[in-house]
Amino acid sequence: MKTLTGALVAMLTGLAARDAQVPTPAFPLQGTWTLIAADKVLPDGETVRDYGDSPKGRLVVDGRGRYSLQIFKSERLRFASDSKADGSVDEFRSAVMGSSTHYGTMTIEPGAGVLVFSIEGSSFPNWEGTVQKRQYRFDGAELRYQVPPRADGSIPISVWRRLD
């Protein structure tokens, strides 16, 4: 009986091991990040602030590369009314132009130094369903990347510091 029990345990262990999934390594950018700079490089090479002197932002990335990103200009106009629907043209413009948010998945092309954003949802609807490749540098505590050039030729630069 002991032999039969031992054989049964060995067989079940073998089956369980066969069906066990190999753990996937955590995505290298996993964690919570805070924005430390949102600048842009102008066509003449000058670097200027893109989201004001004290931009705010958060980037949250899970272990599989799913992310949510928000950037806000601190100097956005406050609405005179407490109703979003009753904003003025200037208030709406400030709210839209003073923020950038999107979510989706990201992957890394390490040999090329490229961060790939597959954007599912965005405050700028034209980005939804797009894939954007961004040159990046990452040192473990700081992530820096260049957004694709805008129509005016400026190149946005985002710099994030890991919080956890």
The DSSP code for 110 is: G
Alpha-helical runs (H) found in 98-159: none
**Residue 1 lies inside a defined structural domain of this protein:** no
Residues 87 and 77: beta-carbon distance below 8 Å: no
Length of the chain: 164
> In what helix (H) or strand (E) does residue 12 lie, and over which residues does it extend?
helix 2-19
Position 8 pLDDT exceeds 70 = no
Position 3 pLDDT exceeds 50 = yes
Local structure of 43: helix, strand or coil:
coil
Q: What percent of the chain has a predicted confidence (pLDDT) above 70?
A: 85
pLDDT for the residue 164: 86
pLDDT digits (tens, 9 = 90+) for 75-88: 999 999 989 899 99
126 or 14, higher pLDDT: 126
**Residue 8 lies inside a defined structural domain of this protein:** no
pLDDT digits (tens, 9 = 90+) for 141-157: 999 999 989 999 999 99
pTM of the model: 0.82
**Residue 101 lies inside a defined structural domain of this protein:** yes
**Residue 122 lies inside a defined structural domain of this protein:** yes
Position 11 pLDDT exceeds 60 = no
Q: Cα(37)–Cα(145) distance, rounded to whole angstroms?
A: 11
Give 106-122 as a DSSP string: EEEEGGGTEEEEEEEEE
**Residue 151 lies inside a defined structural domain of this protein:** yes
Domain residues for the domain of 67 are 25-162
CATH number of the domain where residue 77 is located: 2.40.128.280
**Residue 7 lies inside a defined structural domain of this protein:** no
Nearest to 103 by CA among 85, 123, 84: 123
* Locus of tokens 């272990």: 63
Q: Cα(127)–Cα(6) distance, rounded to whole angstroms?
A: 59
pLDDT digits (tens, 9 = 90+) for 23-33: 667 899 999 99
**Residue 98 lies inside a defined structural domain of this protein:** yes
For the residues 13-36, what does the mean pLDDT come to?
A: 77
Total tally of structural domains belonging to the chain: 1
Q: What percent of the chain has a predicted confidence (pLDDT) above 90?
A: 80
**Residue 6 lies inside a defined structural domain of this protein:** no
Residues 28 and 39: beta-carbon distance below 8 Å: no
